A and B are shown apart, each in its own frame.
Chain A
Amino acid sequence: MELNKMERKATLRLSDGTEFHGTSFGYEMPVAGEIVFNTAMTGYPESLTDPSYEGQIMVMTYPLVGNYGVPSVGTEANGISSYMESDRIHVSGMVVCDYSEEHSHWLSNESLGDWLKREKVPGITGIDTRELTKILREKGVMMGKILIDGMEEVPDAEYDGKNFVDVVSCKEIINYTPENPIGKKIVLIDCGVKDNIIRCLLKRGLEVIRVPWNYDFRGMAFDGLFLGNGPGNPDNCSMTAEHLRLFMEEEIRNGGNVRPIMGICMGNQMLGKAAGAKIDKLKYGHRSHNQPVRMVGGTKCFITTQNHGYAVNAKTLGPNWNEYFVNMNDGTNEGIKHIRYPWFSVQFHPEACAGPLDTEFLFDEFVKTL
């Protein structure tokens, strides 16, 4: 029983000096990273393995975490993980209010704490995550550390300037074949793509060629281009945007049937950059399952999953581009669309995982244009 176990004290220290005291429930090792909060109430296995969280310490605002344990960390025959979003935990650390050692679910294979320990990721519980969130909301995201009692401190980490995309992107080309192919082939640029994006593409019968973020794909034979999500400052992977810009130029120049593009999250920022727009860092980002977006020029609204700290500055979009979706809470850009060609991207996550499935139809829209 947990009660008799020695609880190791731990501290969360923000770069402004604020400290929160709790106990360690993950791997006992100090860590530094950008502190971000996530208001989702479910989906910690998915979020922890989302490559977009690379370099960040995730604060869960929902207080009870770990309730349904962790499903087995296996992969399917095609190399995609069975239940997760990648093959490992990407967050640097996890901050919760009340970690639940007790877990119960038919798919549960181990406790969250055990998983964190296995993957050497620290976790701290007993934190007033609401107060912490308010600080992040007021002062903006900031760097911080999880410190373990009796262990040495770690040096400060860097976030904005670091190319996390390069850390998480695949290093070589990976091919995926669908079970029921429709005879279309797409190139997926991997800036840190979540497995469910690949699942969503395969499910629709698309053959997927996953290429590294900096790979010049323009010479390849394919029917459509897909830009996935990824971590960090989009300015660190300008190379992707540049390839994209050149690709679009060539497509326009070549005339005829322009090949479609769809982008998600970092993909939206890449497409935005390629369309000439500036990218802004948000004060504290959007990380949740309840972000409302509205399709511009209509009455359609959707609840979306989001996980991003940067956004396209819609005012700076090139003349041939329109805003596609807009965030109903703060008015920030949630997607862009070319006025003529089948090129669009969204800032939110239509592949969900975790989160609501309301916008998965966008994959179908993409397939229709292929």
Chain B
Amino acid sequence: MIDKKISKVLLLGSGALKIGEAGEFDYSGSQALKALREEGIETILINPNIATVQTSEGVADQIYFLPVTPYFVERVIEKERPQGILLAFGGQTALNCGVELHKSGVLEKYGVKVLGTPVQAIIDTEDRELFVGKLDEIGVKTIKSHACENIEEARKAAEDLGYPVILRAAYALGGLGSGFCDNEEELNTLAEKAFSFSPQVLVEKSLKGWKEIEYEVVRGRYDNCITVCNMENFDPLGIHTGESIVIAPSQTLSNTDYHKLRSLSISIVRHIGIVGECNVQYAYDPMSEDYRVIEVNARLSRSSALASKATGYPLAFIAAKLGLGYGLFELNNSVTHTTPAFFEPALDYVVCKIPRWDLGKFRGVDRELGSSMKSVGEVMAIGRTFEEAIQKGLRMIGQGMHGFVGNKELELEDVDKALRSPTDKRIFAIEKAFAAGYDVERVHELTKIDKWFLEKLMKLHNIYQELGKYNITTITEDMMRKAKKYGFTDFQIARGMRMEHDTDLEEAMFNVRQVRKAMGILPFVKQIDTLAAEYPAMTNYLYLTYNGCAHDIKFERDGKSVIVLGSGAYRIGSSVEFDWCGVQALNTIRKEGYRSIMVNYNPETVSTDYDICDRLYFDELSKERVLDIIDLEAPHGVIVSTGGQIPNNLAMTLDEQNVPILGTQAKYIDNAEDRDKFSAMLDRIGVDQPEWSALTSMKDVRKFIKKVGFPVLVRPSYVLSGAAMNVCSNMDELEKFLTLAANVSQKHPVVISKFMQNTKEVEMDAVARDGEILAYAISEHIEYAGVHSGDATIQFPAQKLYVETVRRIKKISAEIARELHISGPFNIQYLARDNEIKVIECNLRASRSFPFVSKILKINLIDLATKVMLGIPVVKPEKSFFDFDYVGIKASQFSFNRLQKADPVLGVDMASTGEVGCLGDDTNTALMKAMLAVGNRIPQKGVLMSTGQTKEKAALLDAAKMLIEKGYQIYATKGTSRFFKENKVPNTLVYWPSEPEKTPQALDLMHSREIDMVVNIPKNLTVHELSNGYKIRRSAVDLNIPLITNARLAAAFIQCFCTITPDDLAIKSWSEYK
């Protein structure tokens, strides 16, 4: 039974979302907190990620929006005095922090007990050498690995093992600083990087081509063990499991294979002494029963979140209970409620996880996939055939694909290379190869992907060909059924029958839908029940399939349910904040007496936790699927405004099909989305906007430029490659961009607008009812316009706006709300210079900053908006943000360290993968917390400054003076150095890498750590200017030296750490800010 002495427990979160550590830890932390609260335990949470569900009211008793670092955690422990701490629910961040606190004696000092897996066991799994030794003790094979302390040792080890080898940095999350080396040259480069992240680097023999298999294992204090799920990577070893398509359960393992690895997992977990949850990864020889253990994660992980969603077994919840001292047999299966948690789920469906990459957003990034993670999100698809699941999944990733087949032609120079060297597009390269006549054997040779998977894909290719023999009148019921069983959408079928030649594809799709329905071919709703229907389960966790003949559930169709459309895969620009919005909407719907229904397919979210709603459809957010669900449910209405852009884009289609949309009506959503309509409206109500035009020829482009002048912001509607948006400063650049990146034509106009410089950007987040604003929040960017609002550092309440500016913004917002008859959440972005206000854009949906402003305001704007959408009377909250005695700062988290070769510079396209929100009694304290929370460190020695144009140089002058006063060394590149000298700021001149013959070299000083902070402001965003500073910026990232590329932010941060120290920061929980 449980330890009754533990009455207060601290849980460490994972901080901002980053590549390798994303929403899955919001899910696991939320589950753990729920498990603790159920026991009456007081919970303390440290997590600066303000957009998460776990940092919402009522999830933990006290929430600290502070960096998850030993320093801050110790201060919280000192204040709160918890008896226990949970380290396994906040990813590698929490785990590393916990290990440090243990090693430094902090946990012992304050008598804090680590609940669950003991720290020694964690260390045994994290330190490679200890790990190998530990498994050697029980004769379990690991990958032969040499721990090296310097490059020389690494070179020697590689020679001994023979190339290719793999390099891994110890204690690094998700394979940071890891990679394959085919030769010594590659090893030298990679090793240097790896040593910058970790004092220890491991060199191992590469097992490319082996299968990669994972097991999720649970063990309780009574030594009872289960494996909840196993998973097989579609891609063979060599591609990080976070980068691989993953199938659950394994598909190509025989019973002997499956249970050999299962038994090994259990003996490993027992020997290490895990209490809770653990993940074991194997390399498995495709031609024998030989294996190697790759690694063991002694904590909840991305894989465990996936396994929870794939099986319905709530791993994090159970792990937390086990940490408190329960035995597995003392806990219930949360699905059946009648059977115990000690069992292994039997699946009667197949699950397919596909990563979502956003590599197109990064300039210069290496697109090749390898042993380190680059994807920013993932989807999970459920089907009763592999083909159904993978086709669903390929649509869900939301990159314009319709499945495995029926896509826009992929442009590939060299198919063989695309198969051999995997990129984010490889699966589509396989289809391309099939179309070019490659057989399964040949593709297998090039990719090493198991032939079973390839045969299945070939089958899809063949069905698609077969469809070509039919048209809408000749297609047989058998053919139609076959296509649907193997995951074809109505759209794919229409395209397969080449209907686009005769009619618009959208229309063709609805034709197919009609014909199909007339044939009686409809999807069925099945439950995920953990026991393959062996026991009755009242589960609300559902998916749709064409491989069935009956529904598992009954549909009330009483108009008492409300469907909330989720936000899909996390991607740059849409992540945990929309999960928060969705969950809040679900909560309100339930509270108000409706049944809540969620449709979403992202396994990293809380909104796809079946406890959170009355019904969860873990399925596509496509027109076809959403309409299927609506047909079955006949809901009271659908909410499209809390899930970001995906549901927002569905508004018009749903409206055309007479689906009741709650809140702002579709035509007004369209009026805001459609640039022409929106502009016309602004003109009508006399609201200013940056000059813009949609242009269809270069001639028109030139004419427009003549009128507005450079720089301009260019947004092509049809993107060939690279970033979607760009700022161009001269004609040369503009022409190059338009010819290389976009295709300007009558059909694909390019939108060009005047790019405003030295202008503030202001955001209005608000909720309106029938066009009247009920509540609002005005926040201000620290950076000037030009940095994407998703990358900007935002303060709320706005601190430095004129009262007049605020008044005007309120007035304009009220007018827009009225014009668009807004009922529900919305967001407007403004430019403000002096008191001149321009509208940039308006979204009639919740925006990224809703959780941030809601939590600072302490008014849940989504709750309010949902009530409005449900038509429930609400009172206008009485709160003025001028009265606030505190400030919130939202800072962005970048993952450039994961994105090899990408230029870490900010621009008009968003690049951050996550954010934090911290509170302070003033801007300085809030900013320091926020900056530290996104991984910046306060420099100890020297700062390298190359500060762009004169205006920016001037902006940083005061900051530079402060640095000198504080005793920092300033290193500056030529122009900056001269400017500083003229202004009496002592500094050392250093040289760009483009002048390698001169010393001192900036890069050398970075390598020797004389420079421990880099401020690099590009003069402009031209290719030439960017390549100049690229090496410095990239090296800063690779060497793990804090980098700031914006003058206003740099000045603010420098001012901050020159004025206060971390010791000056008050340790206050969210509720203490009143």
How far is the CB of A349 from the nearest CB of chain B, in Å? 12
Contacting pair A105 B348 (CB below 8 A): no
Contacting pair A64 B386 (CB below 8 A): yes
Which of A62, A63, A102 has the largest count of B CB atoms less than 10 A from its CB? Answer: A63
With contact pairs A292-B340, A299-B329 given, residues A130 and B253 touching in the complex (Cβ less than 8 Å)? no
- Label chain A's interface by main secondary structure: loop
How far is the CB of B457 from the nearest CB of chain A, in Å? 10
Asked if A290 CB lies within 8 Å of chain B CBs, one says: yes
Q: CB within 8 A of B533: which of A133, A302, A357?
A: A133
Chain B residues whose CB sits within 8 angstroms of the CB of A1 once the complex forms: 462
Chain A residues whose CB sits within 8 angstroms of the CB of B940 once the complex forms: none
How far is the CB of A204 from the nearest CB of chain B, in Å? 18
Contacting pair B452 A102 (CB below 8 A): yes
Q: Give 18 A-B pairs besides A42-B249, A100-B456, A137-B534 with Cβ atoms closer than 8 angstroms.
A: A2-B459, A3-B463, A42-B253, A62-B346, A63-B385, A67-B252, A68-B253, A102-B456, A106-B288, A107-B254, A131-B548, A299-B327, A301-B224, A328-B339, A329-B343, A356-B259, A358-B263, A358-B266
**Can you spell out 29 A-B residue pairs with CB atoms less than 8 angstroms apart?**
A3-B463, A39-B533, A41-B258, A41-B346, A42-B249, A42-B250, A43-B254, A62-B249, A62-B346, A62-B532, A63-B349, A98-B485, A102-B452, A102-B455, A104-B452, A128-B547, A128-B550, A130-B384, A130-B548, A133-B532, A134-B552, A290-B343, A290-B531, A299-B329, A303-B343, A329-B340, A329-B535, A353-B255, A354-B259
Tell me, in angstroms, the Cα distance from A42 to B347 when the chains sit together. Answer: 11
Chain A residues whose CB sits within 8 angstroms of the CB of B462 once the complex forms: 1, 3
Contacting pair A301 B328 (CB below 8 A): yes
Q: CB within 8 A of A300: which of B224, B259, B287, B455?
A: B224
Contacting pair B329 A301 (CB below 8 A): yes
Chain A residues whose CB sits within 8 angstroms of the CB of B342 once the complex forms: 292, 294, 301, 303, 328
Asked if B549 CB lies within 8 Å of chain A CBs, one says: yes
Q: Which residue of B lies closest to A357 (CB)?
A: B263
Chain A residues whose CB sits within 8 angstroms of the CB of B251 once the complex forms: 64, 67
Q: CB within 8 A of B346: which of A2, A289, A354, A358?
A: A289
Chain A residues whose CB sits within 8 angstroms of the CB of B534 once the complex forms: 37, 39, 61, 133, 137, 288
How far is the CB of A343 from the nearest CB of chain B, in Å? 26
Contact size class for B?
Answer: 35 or more
How far is the CB of A195 from the nearest CB of chain B, in Å? 14
Chain A residues whose CB sits within 8 angstroms of the CB of B386 once the complex forms: 64, 98
Q: Which residue of B lies closest to A103 (CB)?
A: B452
Asked if B526 CB lies within 8 Å of chain A CBs, one says: yes
Chain B residues whose CB sits within 8 angstroms of the CB of A61 once the complex forms: 346, 348, 532-534
How far is the CB of B530 from the nearest CB of chain A, in Å? 9
Contacting pair B329 A68 (CB below 8 A): no
Asked if A46 CB lies within 8 Å of chain B CBs, one says: yes
How far is the CB of B890 from the nearest CB of chain A, in Å? 45
- Label chain B's interface by main secondary structure: loop
Asked if A129 CB lies within 8 Å of chain B CBs, one says: yes
Q: CB within 8 A of A102: which of B328, B344, B451, B485?
A: B451
Asked if A40 CB lies within 8 Å of chain B CBs, one says: yes
Give residues 27-47 of A contacting B (CB, 8 Å).
Answer: 37, 39-43, 45-46
With contact pairs A64-B350, A67-B452, A104-B450 given, residues A137 and B536 touching in the complex (Cβ less than 8 Å)? yes
> Residues 585-596 of chain B: 1 if any A CB is under 8 Å from the residue's CB, otherwise 0?
000000000000
Contacting pair B224 A355 (CB below 8 A): no
Contacting pair A68 B252 (CB below 8 A): yes
Chain B residues whose CB sits within 8 angstroms of the CB of A37 once the complex forms: 533-534
Tell me, in angstroms, the Cα distance from A151 to B82 when the chains sit together. Answer: 74
Give residues 152-196 of A contacting B (CB, 8 Å).
Answer: none
> Residues 82-108 of chain A: 1 if any B CB is under 8 Å from the residue's CB, otherwise 0?
000000000000000110101111110
Tell me, in angstroms, the Cα distance from A352 to B452 when the chains sit together. Answer: 26
Tell me, in angstroms, the Cα distance from A304 to B946 when the chains sit together. Answer: 66
Give residues 236-252 of A contacting B (CB, 8 Å).
Answer: none
Tell me, in angstroms, the Cα distance from A3 to B466 when the chains sit together. Answer: 9
Tell me, in angstroms, the Cα distance from A137 to B534 when the chains sit together. Answer: 7
Contacting pair B384 A328 (CB below 8 A): no
Contacting pair A130 B452 (CB below 8 A): no
Contacting pair B259 A40 (CB below 8 A): no
Tell me, in angstroms, the Cα distance from A302 to B386 when the chains sit together. Answer: 31
With contact pairs A98-B547, A289-B346 given, residues A46 and B385 touching in the complex (Cβ less than 8 Å)? no
With contact pairs A3-B463, A98-B547 given, residues A104 and B252 touching in the complex (Cβ less than 8 Å)? yes
Tell me, in angstroms, the Cα distance from A97 to B263 when the chains sit together. Answer: 29
Give residues 419-473 of B contacting A (CB, 8 Å).
Answer: 450-452, 455-456, 459, 462-463, 466
Asked if A20 CB lies within 8 Å of chain B CBs, one says: yes
Chain A residues whose CB sits within 8 angstroms of the CB of B768 once the complex forms: none
How far is the CB of B712 from the nearest CB of chain A, in Å? 53
Contacting pair B549 A131 (CB below 8 A): yes
Chain A residues whose CB sits within 8 angstroms of the CB of B884 once the complex forms: none
Interface residues of A (CB under 8 A from B): 1-3, 20, 37, 39-43, 45-46, 61-64, 67-68, 71, 97-98, 100, 102-107, 126, 128-131, 133-134, 137, 288-292, 294, 299-303, 328-329, 352-358
How far is the CB of B584 from the nearest CB of chain A, in Å? 34
How far is the CB of A82 from the nearest CB of chain B, in Å? 11
Chain A residues whose CB sits within 8 angstroms of the CB of B327 once the complex forms: 299
Contacting pair A128 B222 (CB below 8 A): no
How far is the CB of A275 from the nearest CB of chain B, in Å? 27
Q: CB within 8 A of B384: which of A41, A45, A63, A137?
A: A63
Contacting pair B258 A42 (CB below 8 A): yes
Contacting pair B455 A39 (CB below 8 A): no
Asked if B95 CB lies within 8 Å of chain A CBs, one says: no
Tell me, in angstroms, the Cα distance from A300 to B221 when the chains sit together. Answer: 11
Which of B259, B386, B485 has the largest count of A CB atoms less than 10 A from its CB? Answer: B259
Contacting pair A300 B549 (CB below 8 A): no
Chain B residues whose CB sits within 8 angstroms of the CB of A303 once the complex forms: 226, 342-344
Asked if B262 CB lies within 8 Å of chain A CBs, one says: yes
Q: Which residue of B lies closest to A62 (CB)?
A: B348
Q: Which residue of B lies closest to A66 (CB)?
A: B452
Tell me, in angstroms, the Cα distance from A349 to B176 when the chains sit together. Answer: 45
Contacting pair A102 B459 (CB below 8 A): yes
Chain B residues whose CB sits within 8 angstroms of the CB of A301 once the complex forms: 222, 224, 328-329, 342
How far is the CB of A179 from the nearest CB of chain B, in Å? 20
How far is the CB of B818 from the nearest CB of chain A, in Å? 52
Chain A residues whose CB sits within 8 angstroms of the CB of B329 once the complex forms: 292, 294, 299, 301, 328
Give residues 615-651 of B contacting A (CB, 8 Å).
Answer: none
Chain B residues whose CB sits within 8 angstroms of the CB of A137 once the complex forms: 533-536
Q: Which residue of A lies closest to B339 (CB)?
A: A329
Tell me, in angstroms, the Cα distance from A43 to B524 when the chains sit together. Answer: 28
Closest 6 CB pairs of A and B: A102-B455, A43-B255, A104-B452, A61-B532, A354-B255, A39-B346
Q: CB within 8 A of B526: which of A103, A130, A356?
A: A130
Chain A residues whose CB sits within 8 angstroms of the CB of B340 once the complex forms: 292, 328-329
Asked if B986 CB lies within 8 Å of chain A CBs, one says: no
How far is the CB of B322 from the nearest CB of chain A, in Å? 13
Contacting pair B224 A106 (CB below 8 A): no
Q: Which residue of A lies closest to B524 (CB)?
A: A128
Chain B residues whose CB sits within 8 angstroms of the CB of A43 once the complex forms: 254-255
Give residues 510-536 of B contacting A (CB, 8 Å).
Answer: 524, 526, 531-536
How far is the CB of B493 from the nearest CB of chain A, in Å? 16
How far is the CB of A100 from the nearest CB of chain B, in Å? 7
Tell me, in angstroms, the Cα distance from A356 to B350 when the chains sit together. Answer: 21
Contacting pair B549 A106 (CB below 8 A): no
Asked if B403 CB lies within 8 Å of chain A CBs, one says: no
